[in-house]
């Protein structure tokens, strides 16, 4: 076990975190907690994101990663805690409102509508209109242009997304968020369901955004190799708290794996202890 | 036409400009496949076949193309088509309304009470009756969306409530519309072509709303992937409320229209029959019962087919009792044809 695991030095909200102190802070999360009935998803999350940074969020299934992202994009509201954008406290009441503040998201389930075309999906809830009518031609042209820029080869943007492959669907969802002019981009498992070739496109896109320097990204991923390759910093979420905050260059796949294996071992011991207690009772 | 998303445009990988140096035959084949790609294609073919059958083949062909008969067909079609507009919107967003036939029943009585018992001016009474439809739609939306009762039960309940309310307040007696409302009544329902005119106008308006506006896009999104739509920031509750309100108001409008056309406010009008005709028209017209896709134009053609069947078999002098059997069988045949053609469409898409 490393010293950053539970009981170790959790990052403090006042900036004593070990990484990326130099950049301008765009997002700060303080003491966020969230319960769903009897289930506690987030206990006390503290997190910060600097301008142009790519932050990897890792953790076990059910650790609360997706919940945290859904709070940051305004889809769900926290029970307590504060969210600050560039030092200003904000209450994110809806997806629309978060978007107007420059936060956009790619959900794990992609939030695509199978029956709608590629371009209608790319512009869902931010359609180009002329008066009351949809400006389909303009949306088709822009969708075409953006997908070409991203290197995603679709012969038509008019097909319903139901007909696309898993990777193409993912790419559409990512393109939708990327081209919303968001300053903070939240990506929940953007590489799930992707073949190596498609994943490379998305990885390149994330790197490209990073190079431009004005977009900050939080990305959830399971493949630690990929995480360390594209991120500047990683945060580990365990049992509803951030328990590790390190620059990507200061950690390794080995270290992250060890933490997770330790967690498994811990869970296994818990179980055995519980069974033993039941047997004796 | 192929810019319309849910109309199944050419398959991915197809050349964007269709066949290049195509022979006339291949071009015809291309036009044919584009036609089959339209979900309204089957029901259109069925309608054409029925017109040919009743107009040229059946024993009723002499009476079929007369002006009086055409007007009769439009008057059978109008109530079905207009309520079907609402049902298409609701079916697309994953709901159903069983009550518009009862809004249809009560709305003209409400107009009658307001004019004859409360001294309302005719136009105001008509507006209040239409607004009443909106209120019923809101209640349907409230119990379905906000409280979480399945729409099948919610609208069954509001339907029965309105049925009882009508019979109780009217003592189950028919009344003629007040003389003071006659002038407006002509425009709404009693001129020979007014029902057709309203049908065409409303079908055109709602077709545009479904295909070319955000409301239509969000209706499809809501039925296609409710969670995804709301994650993208679409207010799915608002869409459902709105479509319930549209449907109930169209029901109220149809009630007034029919009351003016037959010059009677009838306590046996409307009901479940009116609703089931409309839902049937929507479904044989290509609207999915499980949500996510549907077409107003198809529902309009579906209601035309139902009207042709009802009118045509009647002209042939088939007894009223037997007509129901034939009608049931004919609807089933139309739907089977539709399903088969849809399979063909999907197969074409894969190749």
Instruction: Give the tens place of pLDDT for each residue, A230-255.
Output: 889 999 998 889 988 999 889 888 88
- B50 neighbors B301 (Cβ within 8 angstroms): no
The predicted structure's pLDDT at residue B1: 36
The predicted structure's pLDDT at residue A39: 87
| Residue B85 covered by a domain | yes
| Residue B6 covered by a domain | no
How many inter-chain contacts (A to B, CB under 8 Å) are there?
A: 98
What range defines the domain where residue B288 resides? 40-342
Identify which of B13, B208, B233 has the shortest CB distance to residue A125. Answer: B233
Query: Residue B156's pLDDT band (boundaries 50, 70, 90)?
Result: very high
- B344 neighbors B35 (Cβ within 8 angstroms): no
The per-residue pLDDT of chain B, averaged, comes to 88
For range B130-145, the mean pLDDT: 98
pLDDT of B16-61, one tens digit each?
444 445 577 777 777 777 776 677 888 888 899 889 999 888 888 8
Three-state DSSP class for B5? helix
Cβ of A36: how many Cβ atoms within 10 Å? 10
The CATH number linked to B80 is 1.10.3470
Query: Residue B148's pLDDT band (boundaries 50, 70, 90)?
Result: very high
**Number of helices and strands in chain B (H, E):** 15, 0
Indicate the number of domains in chain B: 1
Has residue B105 got a pLDDT over 50?
yes
- From B17's Cα to the closest Cα of chain A, the distance in A is 11
Decide if A165 touches B, using CB distance below 8 A.
no
Decide if A135 touches B, using CB distance below 8 A.
no
Is B225 in Cβ contact with A95 (below 8 Å)? no
User: Nearest Cα to B256, choosing from B133, B99, B91?
Assistant: B133
The predicted structure's pLDDT at residue A212: 72
Contacts of A133 in chain B (CB under 8 A): 208, 212-213
The predicted structure's pLDDT at residue B347: 65
**Across-strand partners of B178?**
none
The predicted structure's pLDDT at residue B193: 93
Q: Is B191 exposed, middle or buried (0-12, 13-18, 19+ CB in 10 A)?
A: middle
The predicted structure's pLDDT at residue B108: 97
The predicted structure's pLDDT at residue B25: 75
pLDDT of B262-318, one tens digit each?
999 999 999 999 999 999 999 989 888 888 889 999 999 999 999 999 999 888 888
Query: What percent of chain B has a predicted confidence (pLDDT) above 70?
Result: 91
Cβ of A224: how many Cβ atoms within 10 Å? 19
Decide if A123 touches B, using CB distance below 8 A.
no
The predicted structure's pLDDT at residue A228: 87
| Residue B31 covered by a domain | no
From the options 3.40.50.300, 3.30.420.280, 3.60.10.10, 1.10.10.10, give the CATH code of A1-102+182-281: 3.40.50.300
User: Is the predicted ipTM greater than 0.85, yes or no?
Assistant: no
- From B101's Cα to the closest Cα of chain A, the distance in A is 30
* Residue A210 vs residue A26, higher pLDDT: A26
Length of chain B: 351
pTM summary value: 0.83
Domain boundaries, chain A: 1-102+182-281, 112-181
| Spatial distance between the Cα atoms of A188 and A104, rounded to a whole number of angstroms | 11
For range B119-142, the mean pLDDT: 97
| Residue B2 covered by a domain | no
Query: What percent of chain A has a predicted confidence (pLDDT) above 70?
Result: 91
| Residue B11 covered by a domain | no
Contacts of A75 in chain B (CB under 8 A): 230-231
The predicted structure's pLDDT at residue A225: 84
Task: Supply the DSSP string of B304-321, one letter for each residue.
Answer: HHHHHHHHHHHHTT--HH
Cβ of A39: how many Cβ atoms within 10 Å? 10
Ramachandran sector of residue B270 (left: φ over 0; alpha: ψ -120 to 50; beta: rest) = left
């Amino acid at each position: 076990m490393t010293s950053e695991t539970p009981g170790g030095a959790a990052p403090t909200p006042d900036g004593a975190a070990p990484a990326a102190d130099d950049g301008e802070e765009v997002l700060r999360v303080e003491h966020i907690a969230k319960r769903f009935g009897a289930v506690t998803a987030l206990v006390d999350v503290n997190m910060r994101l600097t301008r142009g940074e790519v932050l990897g969020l890792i953790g076990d299934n059910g650790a609360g990663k997706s919940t945290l992202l859904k709070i940051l994009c305004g889809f769900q509201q926290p029970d307590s805690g504060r969210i600050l954008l560039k030092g200003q406290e904000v209450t994110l009441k809806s997806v629309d409102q978060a978007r107007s503040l420059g936060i956009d998201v790619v959900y794990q389930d992609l939030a695509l509508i199978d029956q709608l075309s590629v371009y209608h999906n790319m512009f869902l809830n931010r359609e180009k209109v002329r008066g009351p009518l949809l400006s389909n031609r303009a949306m088709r042209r822009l969708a075409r242009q953006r997908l070409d820029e991203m290197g995603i080869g679709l012969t038509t943007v008019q097909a319903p997304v139901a007909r696309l492959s898993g990777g193409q669907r993912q790419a559409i969802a990512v393109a939708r968020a990327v081209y919303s002019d968001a300053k903070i981009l939240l990506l929940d498992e953007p590489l799930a369901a992707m073949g190596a070739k498609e994943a490379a496109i998305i990885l390149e896109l994330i790197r490209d955004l990073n190079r431009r320097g004005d977009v900050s990204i939080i990305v959830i991923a399971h493949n630690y190799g990929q995480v360390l390759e594209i991120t500047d910093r990683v945060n580990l979420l365990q049992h509803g708290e951030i328990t590790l905050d390190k620059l990507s260059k200061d950690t390794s796949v080995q270290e992250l794996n060890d933490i997770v294996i330790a967690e498994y071992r811990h869970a296994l011991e818990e179980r055995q202890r519980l069974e033993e207690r039941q047997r004796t009772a | 036409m192929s810019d319309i998303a849910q109309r199944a445009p050419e398959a991915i990988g197809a050349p964007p400009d269709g066949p290049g140096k195509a022979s006339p035959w291949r071009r015809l084949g291309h036009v044919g496949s584009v036609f089959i790609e339209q979900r309204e294609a089957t029901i259109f073919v069925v309608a054409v076949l029925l017109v040919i059958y009743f107009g040229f083949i059946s024993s009723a062909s002499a009476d079929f193309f007369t002006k009086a008969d055409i007007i009769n067909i439009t008057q059978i079609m109008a109530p079905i088509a207009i309520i079907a507009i609402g049902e298409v919107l609701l079916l697309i967003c994953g709901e159903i309304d069983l009550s518009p036939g009862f809004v249809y029943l009560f709305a003209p009585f409400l107009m009658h009470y307001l004019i004859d018992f409360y001294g309302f001016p005719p136009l105001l009474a008509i507006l209040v009756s239409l607004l009443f439809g909106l209120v019923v739609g809101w209640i349907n939306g409230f119990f379905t969306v906000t409280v979480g009762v399945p729409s099948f039960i919610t609208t069954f309940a509001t339907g029965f409530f309105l049925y009882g309310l009508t019979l109780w307040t009217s003592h189950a007696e028919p009344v003629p519309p007040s003389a003071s409302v006659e002038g407006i009544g002509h425009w709404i329902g009693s001129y020979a072509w007014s029902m057709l005119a309203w049908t065409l106008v409303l079908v055109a308006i709602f077709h545009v709303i479904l295909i070319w506006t955000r409301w239509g896009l969000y209706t499809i999104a809501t039925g296609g992937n409710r969670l995804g739509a709301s994650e993208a920031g679409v207010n799915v509750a608002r869409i459902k409320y709105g479509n319930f309100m549209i449907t109930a108001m169209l029901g109220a409008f149809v009630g007034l229209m029919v009351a003016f056309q037959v010059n009677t406010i009838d306590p046996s009008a409307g009901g479940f029959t009116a609703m089931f005709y409309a839902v049937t028209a929507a479904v044989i017209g290509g609207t999915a019962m499980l949500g996510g896709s549907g077409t107003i134009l198809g529902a309009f053609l579906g209601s035309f087919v139902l009207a042709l069947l009802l009118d045509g078999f009647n002209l042939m002098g088939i007894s009223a009792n037997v007509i129901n059997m034939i009608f049931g069988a004919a609807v089933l045949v139309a739907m089977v044809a539709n399903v088969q053609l849809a399979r063909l469409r999907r197969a074409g898409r894969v190749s």
